[in-house]
Amino acid sequence: MEKRFYFDTSIWLDFLEKRDEPNLPKGTWAKELIEKIIKNKDKIVLSEVIKNELIGLGYSRYELESIFFPFQKILISVYSNKKQFGKAKDLSDKRNIPLFDALHATLARDNHSILITRDKHFDKLLDIVSYKKPEEFI
């Protein structure tokens, strides 16, 4: 059965920028997980929230199109709706976490995806969605 993964923005950045550290090869692990997803014919859910965050960090829409194009067979593009945004806003306010993290959790849950992250903010959202680190799947 096909698995779905939802990478938060930091995992995409680890992959795109090859952000390895001594004793913590984050970029390598992200790359290996993507390779495993391709091999297993699984999917990655990619939201407009991720793209907007990457644009906010300096990537252009054109760059993102060319970056994600080779992965089009494994990507599922999703968009948040008003209900999801409202839920995320409520979670963000009540649990004191960034709005986009709450929206990532909501989108991962609603798209039946495994959230992949290293961000500890998601500890406050375990009743919404559980999460794993990339190396837990490779």
Q: Is 2 within 8 Å of 43 (Cβ atoms)?
A: yes
Neighbouring C-beta atoms of residue 46, cutoff 10 Å: 22
Say what the pTM is. 0.94
**Mean pLDDT of the 106-123 span:** 95
Residue 121 confidence class, pLDDT cut points 50, 70, 90: confident
102 pLDDT more than 90: yes
**CATH topology assigned to domain 4-136:** Rossmann fold (3.40.50)
Compute the CA torsion angle 9, 11, 16, 17 (nearest 10 deg).
100
Q: Phi, psi at residue 14, to the nearest 5°? A: -55, -45
Looking at 17-81, list the stretches that DSSP marks H as alpha helix, in order from N- to C-terminal side.
Answer: 26-40, 48-56, 61-68
Q: Is 44 within 8 Å of 7 (Cβ atoms)?
A: yes
Domain parsing of the chain, residue ranges? 4-136
Mean pLDDT of the chain: 96
